[in-house]
């Protein structure tokens, strides 16, 4: 679970900001809304980016994600063999 701005910001009413501490620190305006339409990278995508580096361990293999609809036009008797071939050994 990723932290969001809503979980990290605590809103204090202005009525509680009375005294010397209120004058020493300026009151900041509310932050803008967080964009939810931006697609965040998945864990597999992050690991694939890291695996391109030279110092990535050779014993860790990341298999590419193949969607189910990729096997839609394949004959059922050949489908399981094709899935086996796509997996790294």
9-36 pLDDT tens trace: 777 777 776 665 545 666 777 777 777 7
pLDDT at 22: 47
Structural domain span for residue 59: 43-86
Does residue 54 belong to any structural domain of this protein?
A: yes
Residue with tokens 């050779």: 58
- The rounded percent of the chain whose pLDDT value lies above 70 is 82
Asked, for residue 28, whether it belongs to a domain, the answer is no
> Does the residue 29 lie in any domain?
no
Closest residue by Cα to residue 4 from 49, 36, 26: 36
Taking 70 as the threshold, does the pLDDT of residue 74 lie above it? yes
pTM: 0.38
Q: Would you state the pLDDT for residue 24?
A: 61
């Amino acid at each position: 679970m990723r932290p969001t701005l809503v979980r990290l910001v605590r809103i204090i009413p202005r009525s509680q900001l009375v005294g010397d501490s209120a004058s020493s620190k300026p009151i900041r305006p509310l932050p803008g809304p967080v964009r939810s339409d931006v697609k965040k990278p998945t864990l597999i995508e992050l690991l694939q980016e890291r695996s391109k580096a030279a110092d990535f361990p050779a014993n860790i293999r990341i298999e590419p994600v193949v969607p189910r609809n990729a096997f839609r036009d394949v004959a059922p008797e050949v489908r399981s063999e094709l899935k086996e071939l796509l997996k790294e050994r």
